[in-house]
Structure 1
């Protein structure tokens, strides 16, 4: 067997063993004392689970999406290694145009509007 097959077998076996052990371990017994937030020995003043605005979540997802696209765009000239720099420029321009179209689509759909 070659090294890749050996590593694949070991990682698969280890994953299956860890998954089986996690089912056999005793389950946690939740009670109100364990589920309450710890506040330095004081009684909790209120619930620690506050409602989370969906707008913050959508803005965070959009930021991650566009940030990841830009991070993938930066090494593009070295990654494709084309002989003509104009072809690399055209590919980078295509990615930027698609990214801009996605941003315009989100704007039109109201994903960037904060107040309703």
Structure 2
């Protein structure tokens, strides 16, 4: 009740599916990884070809991770 001030109705101890937590973890993982793209995008013109190749490899690793999560069913909501 300290969060919203309302009295609860029924049992407050309910079980959630693990898939909801997995979905949230995958979202956070890719959300945090996109933070690393911002500094690279700001300095794109100055960094040169080596940094471009590194970023292609980085994005490739992210795509492989997304494919694996999709294949394992971590992105299915129900």
Shorter-chain TM-score: what band? 0.7 to 0.9
Q: Check whether the contact 1:73–1:95 (CA below 8 A) recurs between aligned residues.
A: no
**Structure 1, unpaired ranges of 5+:** 1-36
CA positional deviation for 1:76? 3.2
Q: 1: distance between equivalents of 2:41 and 2:10?
A: 54
Q: Which has the higher contact order (CA 8 A, sep 6+)?
A: 2
Question: What is the TM-score when the length of structure 2 is the normalising length?
Answer: 0.73
Please point out which of 2, 5, 17 is paired with 1:53.
Answer: 17
Q: TM-score, normalised by structure 1?
A: 0.52
Q: CA RMSD in A?
A: 2.8
- SS of 2:13's partner is coil
In the alignment, what sits opposite 2:57? 94
